[in-house]
Structure 1
Amino acid sequence: MNYIKKLIPFALPYKRYAYLNIFFNVLYALFSTLSFVALIPVFKVIFSNQRVITAKPDWKGWLKLQDYGESYLNWFITENIEKYGDFKVLMMMVGVIISMFLLKNISNYLAMFFITFLRNGVLKDLRNKLYDKIVNLPLAFYSEKTKGDTISRVSADVNEVRNSFLSILEMIVREPLTILFSLVMMVILSPKLTLFVLVFIPISGLIISRIGKSLKKGSLKVQKEQGVFLSVLEETMGGLRIIKAFNVEKLFAGKFEASNDRFYKYSNRVLNRQNLASPLSELLGIIVIGILLIYGGYLVFVDKTMDASFFVGYITLAYNILTPAKSIAKASYSVKRGDGAANRILEFLETTNEITEIPNPIEKENFEDEISIENISFKYEDEFVLKNFSLKVPKGKTVALVGQSGSGKSTIANLVTRFYDVNEGSISIDGINIKDFSKKSLRGFMGLVNQDSILFNDTVANNLRIGKEDATEEEIIEALKIANAWEFVKDLPTGIDTNIGDSGGKLSGGQKQRLSIARAVLKNPPIMILDEATSALDTESERLVQDALENMMKNRTSIVIAHRLSTIQNADLIVVMQKGEIAEQGTHTELLAKNGVYKKLVEMQSFD
């Protein structure tokens, strides 16, 4: 319940629906009890040989309530039968019963009507909060978590919590009140018989709670395993081309089936325990009903201290307790499952975001001087990938970072954009530490083109408008022309309004990369970061894009991370990196003259 309590703030905006639900649940419990109490007069009419004609009784205090009620009912029925006859009185009693059941079901519908807004409202806000957390958490978090596990928390776990909220409201309002009202009437009818019921409730509750203790642990296994097979599914869909090319369909199918089998087993265990609640509570209830029938029969036929019609009414009230008792048992199991789901949701929501902003961060619009990287060191896990690295990138200059894979080139891009924070040293823009900027302001300075083209399942225009939301059609076309992408976009079925498919799947690799460059062009930032932006292009596309990149980088500060050295020969400064440190730096001509690491890299690529 602790985790569920922490989620209560999500329900507060919808508290009026909770109040309305509670109000109609109270009415439901009241009419549910009265509908069974109303059966007693019917039995009195039917069992006419047991009806005693009396004068209107006098009130003699609460201690004589049972005798007064029975005498008054006898008098009322006798009086009306003498006026209207047995059949008409029976018709009137049946009408009252039907009215009670009608009001009971109307109240039930309205209670469920209003709880729907609460349940779905909590669901909506929880998912929004989780999505906000997803996009705000640093990239480092997702290097340790699977995508499937995150998706499972946003979908399956949230639904489980939503169902638990309904169960809690049923458990604390409608069903207990139904039991309470029924018990009150049962005490009035027969305190002795009610003693059996009062003994039964805690015993059955204890038995059911013992079975439910393992539900939370089991449900956590179910939810975690759901995250595993969703991860396998996500990886399969993302890498379907490779899976087919290497004929490993069976290998991945085996992974999925193994996870799905575990999910099947865990789910069976949890659901079988949960399904035990209803038959177990009903069995315990029927045992008590059987005892009541024996003892009640003794009071009616032997002891002669209870009227038969009252006894039949009492039994119906006792049976009326069984249904809410079963519902409470089911609800308590559901809450235990929801507690496990809430645990996983809160664990995610309470994850600390290490990329934080200072209070009142700086909002700066213009880049004026230089980017300064001073003695930074950084590690993803245990081993440093950058060690005491320093570099200055003056405004308007192009600095290229080259080196073998793993030398730390892309890490520089991740640190300058503050996707990660340095472990030691500092990075500043115009003399201000980038940690003092708001993340929005810092990243507003920068345009980013990655090695992997990241496009979305939308139109060409909307993919580019990520760079500038209010861009006009003319601006989009101009950006496409600069990126040498207009030549193929204009031939698409509906031009810039053509949907490019999931991850741009309808386009070639070179086309996707040119759209990524066009998006950066449209943003028109003062600082451009190109992380191996031409590595995915064929020779023809590279030539088309290289001209566009050079035009784009004119009078612009650029950090170019390059694998193909032919693309950076005109850079103002080339920094050669080895194992997180600077091995050499200078212009293309200067580095060739040094006859060192850079020249070897050039020769390896057969570049003259």
Structure 2
Amino acid sequence: MVPSMSTIQIFSRLVKLVFPLTGFMICAILMGVAGFLCAIFIPVLSSMALVKDPTFSFHMIVILLFVCALLRGILRYAEQACNHYIAFKLLARIRDQVFGALRRLCPAKLEVKDKGNLISLITSDIELLEVFYAHTISPICIAFVTSLVCVMIQMQFGWIYGLYSLLAYIVVGVVLPIYISKQSRHIGVEYRKEAANLNSYVLESMRGLKESMQYMDTNRRLSGLNHQTALLANREMELKHFQAKTISLTNLCVVLLSLGLCLMHVFLNSSMESMIVSSVLQISSFGPVIALANLGSTLSQTIGAGQRVISLLDEIPMVEDVVNGNEAKFNKLDISNVDFAYDEEQILKNMNLNIQENEVIGIQGKSGSGKSTLLKLLMRFWDVSSGNILVDGMDIKNLNTSNLKKKRRLCNTGNDSFP
């Protein structure tokens, strides 16, 4: 069992994967900063034309407005192209690592009951990480650089306005996202769990469809499916409500902080021209930090998905491969006082069996009595809880894995999800 990780630990693990694509990330950040500055300067230049600021002539302002509008579209497209290139490259790498981990953990990992959990992990969970790589890392850097530039511009009207502007950006871009992330993390994690539970239930129902029809159990399975769907829908509704509250809170903070700057200008007897241009700059420059505030709720699902993916990558195989062990000819097999349990569910108790070469053995028992489990123990999917399994007098734990696989075969009918 992999221990739970904090949000910072999850982010640090995900960020490390970006290092090989640092050049593309820097390019995305630079273009994002330039694009946001163009968007900010459009209303600022308009306000300068309105108050007849002597810095630029009216004709120059018109030209600058046209250039900023044109560059904003181009830079935005280029920034998103770089971000998504990084995201798709990293998602391919993560998928490769996940399937590598599954190969390392197999076959025991595929014998779990909730195979739908694995399907959710290798599909929707990995796809959710696209939000992190395409819409989180570079926006954070863009918000920092853009806000720093705007603070320096506000300093031109007075150091007190620059300091106020900096505090406003910290509130919207740092305090709010941290607060929102802490409040919504459990919702995102639970949402991913409910989605995995629904997948598992659907797969289980599909595999047992003939039996459900034979024993007239379809109504109960349908009721269970509706129940699982309702649980997921309720969790999604909870997530949507929280996102709506997040947007409302962010917009309220932006309005109040912008109004505060106007009141500060009035209190300090600034000129009307300075107050208008400074206030327009302030309210139009919240775009990058608003994006960070909105990420707080969006990332709640990403955190849950990232934790599940990283937990799989860190999971230790239940049985390690043996390389420099013993080789057996498989002339006889002895099962002596074997106990085995899945977690706390006891499956085999004091199991004894002796099989000689060329013997044909039939194992009979009711469903869940441990027939398949015994065969999988002979294949060493898992190690026994107690007792011994001996091949030619040698403990099965000491046999080379390649030797064991070469001499034995198991035809399993339960892995429809992973043929």
The answer to whether TM tops 0.5 is yes
The answer (yes or no) to whether the contact 1:28–1:104 under 8 Å persists in 2 is no
Deviations 1:390-430 (A, max 9, x none): 53534xxx21223541687655532332223233224236x
Summarize the Cα distance change of 1:4–1:439 in structure 2 as closer, same or farther, 3 Å threshold. farther
Residue 117 of structure 1 corresponds to which residue in structure 2?
85
Matched, 1:333 2:297: yes
Counterpart residue identity of residue 190, structure 2: K
Matched, 1:427 2:381: no
Deviations 1:533-590 (A, max 9, x none): xxxxxxxxxxxxxxxxxxxxxxxxxxxxxxxxxxxxxxxxxxxxxxxxxxxxxxxxxx
The answer (yes or no) to whether the contact 2:161–2:261 under 8 Å persists in 1 is yes
Residue 98 of structure 2 corresponds to which residue in structure 1?
130
Residue 348 of structure 2 corresponds to which residue in structure 1?
385
Residue 284 (structure 2) aligned to one of 320, 338, 345:
320
The 10-residue stretch of structure 1 (16-25 or 261-270) with the greater mean CA deviation from structure 2: 16-25
Over alpha carbons, which structure has the higher Rg? 1
Q: Secondary structure of the residue that 2:361 maps to in structure 1? A: strand
> 1:171 Cα deviation (Å)?
4.4
Q: Secondary structure of the residue that 2:156 maps to in structure 1? A: helix
> 1:389 Cα deviation (Å)?
3.2
The answer (yes or no) to whether the contact 2:332–2:355 under 8 Å persists in 1 is yes
Summarize the Cα distance change of 1:438–1:105 in structure 2 as closer, same or farther, 3 Å threshold. farther
* Alignment partners' CA distance in 1, 2:407 and 2:298: 50
* Alignment partners' CA distance in 1, 2:309 and 2:248: 32
Summarize the Cα distance change of 1:30–1:260 in structure 2 as closer, same or farther, 3 Å threshold. same
> 1:199 Cα deviation (Å)?
4.2
Residue 36 of structure 2 corresponds to which residue in structure 1?
32
Q: Secondary structure of the residue that 1:399 maps to in structure 2? A: coil
Question: After superposition, where does 1:433-452 map in structure 2 within 5 Å?
Answer: 433-449=395-411, 452=413
* Alignment partners' CA distance in 1, 2:315 and 2:106: 11
Matched, 1:348 2:312: yes
Q: Secondary structure of the residue that 2:362 maps to in structure 1? A: strand
Q: Secondary structure of the residue that 1:400 maps to in structure 2? A: coil
Residue 271 (structure 1) aligned to one of 214, 237, 240:
240
> 1:270 Cα deviation (Å)?
1.8
Counterpart residue identity of residue 326, structure 1: I
Greater RCO structure (CA 8 Å; 6+ sep): 2
Q: Secondary structure of the residue that 2:359 maps to in structure 1? A: strand
> 1:255 Cα deviation (Å)?
0.7
Counterpart residue identity of residue 373, structure 1: D
* Alignment partners' CA distance in 2, 1:115 and 1:275: 26
Matched, 1:100 2:68: yes
> 1:142 Cα deviation (Å)?
5.7
* Alignment partners' CA distance in 1, 2:114 and 2:60: 66
Deviations 1:163-197 (A, max 9, x none): 13334314421122222211111112333434443
The answer (yes or no) to whether the contact 1:377–1:388 under 8 Å persists in 2 is yes
Residue 331 of structure 2 corresponds to which residue in structure 1?
370
* Alignment partners' CA distance in 2, 1:199 and 1:411: 62
Deviations 1:103-138 (A, max 9, x none): 344333222212213222333333333334445436
Residue 222 (structure 2) aligned to one of 253, 260, 267:
253
Residue 114 (structure 2) aligned to one of 134, 146, 171:
146
Question: After superposition, where does 1:408-487 map in structure 2 within 5 Å?
Answer: 411-422=373-384, 423-428=386-391, 433-449=395-411, 452=413
Q: Normalising to structure 2: TM-score of the pair? A: 0.81
Residue 282 of structure 1 corresponds to which residue in structure 2?
251
Residue 594 of structure 1 corresponds to which residue in structure 2?
none
Q: Secondary structure of the residue that 2:410 maps to in structure 1? A: strand
* Alignment partners' CA distance in 2, 1:208 and 1:455: 42
* Alignment partners' CA distance in 2, 1:370 and 1:256: 49
The answer (yes or no) to whether the contact 2:325–2:398 under 8 Å persists in 1 is yes
Counterpart residue identity of residue 399, structure 1: E
Deviations 1:143-173 (A, max 9, x none): 6541222222222322333313334314421
Kindly report the root-mean-square deviation, in angstroms, between the aligned alpha carbons of the 2 structures. Answer: 3.6
> 1:9 Cα deviation (Å)?
5.3
Residue 401 of structure 1 corresponds to which residue in structure 2?
361
The 10-residue stretch of structure 1 (370-379 or 219-228) with the greater mean CA deviation from structure 2: 370-379
Question: After superposition, where does 1:440-589 map in structure 2 within 5 Å?
Answer: 440-449=402-411, 452=413
Matched, 1:184 2:152: yes
* Alignment partners' CA distance in 1, 2:234 and 2:181: 18
> Structure 2: any 5+ residue segments left out of the alignment?
none
Q: What is the total number of aligned residue pairs between the two structures?
A: 409
Q: Percent identity?
A: 15
* Alignment partners' CA distance in 2, 1:372 and 1:261: 50
> 1:343 Cα deviation (Å)?
2.4
> Structure 1: any 5+ residue segments left out of the alignment?
52-72, 78-88, 458-502, 504-608
